[in-house]
Structure 1
Amino acid sequence: MLTFGLFGTGHWAAEVHAAALAGHPGARLGGVWGRDPAKAAALAERYGVPAFSDPDALIGAVDAVAVALPPDVQADLAVRAATAGRHLLLDKPLALSLPDADRVVEAAGRSGVASVVFFTNRFRPAIASFLASAAATGGWHGARGVTYASIFQPGNPYGGSAWRRAHGALWDVGPHALSLVLPVLGPVTRVAAMAGPRQSVHLTLAHGDAATSTLSLALDAPPASTTVELLFHGEEGIDVLPRREGTPVDALRLAVGQLCTEVDTGTRDQQCDVRFGRDVVAVLAAAQTAREQGRTVTLPAGTSVTG
């Protein structure tokens, strides 16, 4: 039984992370820490666990950490937890800069802890099977994806997120899109990006010399235009991503199970670990530079984990 400390008190922490951990047969929730002590106390009471006032005290009391905090806060906590030998269940994006992502990877590698970055759709069984089949088929010339969300509508639990407002669709839904494309088309070597209406962003990615992909991303799309679409095209024709099924809690329970298995067996799966999370951050950082400077950015060698 793996004991987790939960870091975060917002909607995602309370309704997804805490719920998934509380209902998992191989895990238990051991405590909560948050930047707002009152919210941490309320969430801890809801799940019958202690609230911690010191994050390092919670790290010291558990086997693993589950982080549901803004990416810049997450990166520092992940380094502290990994350095203390605690396994990592993290959210996307891993960090908001490549140096911070590299620090997490270095700390996890040095301590040998297991890690899973929760790219939600990678833990939906139908989508995972689709991606495995598409990767095995090969021969793809490219992909075309659209991820349009509309989080700034009244009542949306993520509309007040300061980091999402500051960093936009590229850093929020961009990781989801990349987590689906990279396992099939391989590492990104060049990135171009352009801003669009309603603060959308549109990427063109080169995957070596064999394939290209285009991704359109938005957080403030008109409500009638929200969608998640992805198709691959190539020698075998066209293959379309299946519809999302199940809840985020269902998906996170599978991610928790994967982490527990890695800890129990001593194995380390690269599909959604911090190294893959780091490579996603590398693409996002390159895309941000491409958009800001109006040029194509070549990614440095070493960005090669594809999931």
Structure 2
Amino acid sequence: MRFGLLGTGHWAAETQGAALAAHPEAELVGVWGRDPAKARALADRYGIRAYDRADELIADVEAVAVALPPDIQSDLALRAARAGRHLLLDKPLAFTTEDADRVVDAVEEHGLASVVFFTRRFAQPVEDFLTRAAADGGWDGVRVTAFASIFRPGNPYGGSPWRRERGGLWDVGPHALSVLLPVLGPVAEVTAVGGPRGAAHVLLRHRSGAVGTLALTLDARPAAVAHTCDFYGEQGVAAVPDAGITPVEAFTAATDRLLRGARAGTDDPCDARFGREVVAVLEAADASRRIGRTVAPR
């Protein structure tokens, strides 16, 4: 399958581009980015064409992989889907449910395959754990701590304007929700408050009655960096395992799943509809934090 890469940042170059260039069933055709010089450099690295216009690249391929800020991604994903291209997207799918809905509608209208890349969801140990946990049931809730510290010298993501503006809720929050929702089910209500260092503290009431508590930040003190996710209930306490693979390996698995979905016409557990569900919870948490009351996801 012929792929176009939309984006030229660190993630596009070191993860998506690397995985697609090495994939035996994918042909990386070209790259487009908002910085033409970076697009040319990345094209030279992988021996592909740098496109001046995103729509020209979309026209030349069968699928696009997107590594861009969510608001830019949602617009380009919509254009690609309307052109009949399969979508391999990054998280979060969009910043609003309205934008996410437009992408979902276009994917469904054109019968396309879609995958949203929640990194841990493409590691087999994590998928096996979630399958067992969902089958076991009896969970009262989950506790998540995702304290990253990206705004230190040398971090490749520290200069990202959208991450500085939106914080951990929108960057590490999608990863947390991607493992909570398959086990605890849809979210009915969200309450969130802000904390020191840009933290978001989020309380979820799932329709099942289970409760999730999430503490999320991208600006943790270095000594406080932590990543934990523990379900608790009848089974005791069960920690989601480490992925055990590199981001490139995970993106390779995501590409495999997009190819299978495109060939078989089947939906993926991490498709655009699931990406939209995640956006709805994040949007509700953002609103709750801003207005100071509980919000139901749309």
- The answer to whether the superposition gives a TM-score over 0.5 is yes
* In the alignment, structure 1 residue 244 sits paired with structure 2 residue 243: yes
- Give, in whole Å, the separation in 2 of the partners of 1:278 and 1:268: 14
**Does the 8 Å CA contact 2:81/2:112 hold for their aligned counterparts?**
yes
Which of structure 1's runs of 4+ aligned residues deviate more than 4 A? none
* In the alignment, structure 1 residue 289 sits paired with structure 2 residue 273: no
Q: Kindly provide the amino acid, as one letter, of the partner of residue 126 in structure 2.
A: I
Alignment correspondent of 1:122: 121
Alignment correspondent of 2:166: 167
* In the alignment, structure 1 residue 216 sits paired with structure 2 residue 222: no
Alignment correspondent of 1:78: 77
Does the residue aligned with 2:140 lie in a helix, a strand or coil? strand
- Give, in whole Å, the separation in 2 of the partners of 1:54 and 1:11: 20
- Give, in whole Å, the separation in 1 of the partners of 2:243 and 2:105: 33
Calculate the TM-score normalised by the size of structure 2.
Answer: 0.98
Alignment correspondent of 2:89: 90
1:243 to partner: Cα distance: 2.1
Q: Which moved more, 1:105-114 or 1:151-160?
A: 105-114
- Give, in whole Å, the separation in 2 of the partners of 1:209 and 1:104: 28
1:265 to partner: Cα distance: 1.7
- Structure 2 gaps of 5+ residues are none
Q: Kindly provide the amino acid, as one letter, of the partner of residue 147 in structure 1.
A: A
Alignment correspondent of 1:205: 204
* In the alignment, structure 1 residue 192 sits paired with structure 2 residue 191: yes
Encode CA deviations 1:253-298: one digit per residue, 9 max, x unaligned. Answer: 00000001111222222x1000000010000000001000110112
Calculate the TM-score normalised by the size of structure 1.
Answer: 0.96
Does the residue aligned with 1:189 lie in a helix, a strand or coil? strand
Q: Kindly provide the amino acid, as one letter, of the partner of residue 93 in structure 1.
A: P
Q: How many residues align?
A: 298
Written as runs of structure 1 = structure 2, the 5 A alignment for 1:40-189 is: 40-189=39-188
1:224 to partner: Cα distance: 1.9
User: Root-mean-square deviation (CA), in Å?
Assistant: 0.8
Between the aligned residues of both structures, percent identity stands at: 59
Alignment correspondent of 1:278: 276
- Give, in whole Å, the separation in 2 of the partners of 1:128 and 1:93: 19
- Give, in whole Å, the separation in 2 of the partners of 1:259 and 1:72: 22
Q: Kindly provide the amino acid, as one letter, of the partner of residue 158 in structure 2.
A: G
Encode CA deviations 1:95-146: one digit per residue, 9 max, x unaligned. Answer: 0111111111111111111000000010111111111110111110100011
Q: Kindly provide the amino acid, as one letter, of the partner of residue 56 in structure 2.
A: A
**Does the 8 Å CA contact 2:130/2:182 hold for their aligned counterparts?**
yes
**Does the 8 Å CA contact 2:124/2:243 hold for their aligned counterparts?**
no
1:299 to partner: Cα distance: 2.5
Does the residue aligned with 1:220 lie in a helix, a strand or coil? coil
- Give, in whole Å, the separation in 2 of the partners of 1:216 and 1:38: 38
- Give, in whole Å, the separation in 2 of the partners of 1:117 and 1:160: 23
Q: Kindly provide the amino acid, as one letter, of the partner of residue 290 in structure 1.
A: S
- Give, in whole Å, the separation in 2 of the partners of 1:267 and 1:176: 23
Alignment correspondent of 1:303: none
Written as runs of structure 1 = structure 2, the 5 A alignment for 1:225-236 is: 225-236=224-235
Q: Kindly provide the amino acid, as one letter, of the partner of residue 262 in structure 2.
A: V
- Give, in whole Å, the separation in 1 of the partners of 2:242 and 2:78: 35
Alignment correspondent of 1:19: 18
Encode CA deviations 1:191-216: one digit per residue, 9 max, x unaligned. Answer: 00011111111000000152111010
1:244 to partner: Cα distance: 3.0
- Structure 1 gaps of 5+ residues are 301-307
- Give, in whole Å, the separation in 2 of the partners of 1:268 and 1:196: 38
- Give, in whole Å, the separation in 2 of the partners of 1:260 and 1:88: 10
- Give, in whole Å, the separation in 2 of the partners of 1:166 and 1:28: 35
- Give, in whole Å, the separation in 1 of the partners of 2:149 and 2:98: 30
Q: Kindly provide the amino acid, as one letter, of the partner of residue 286 in structure 1.
A: A
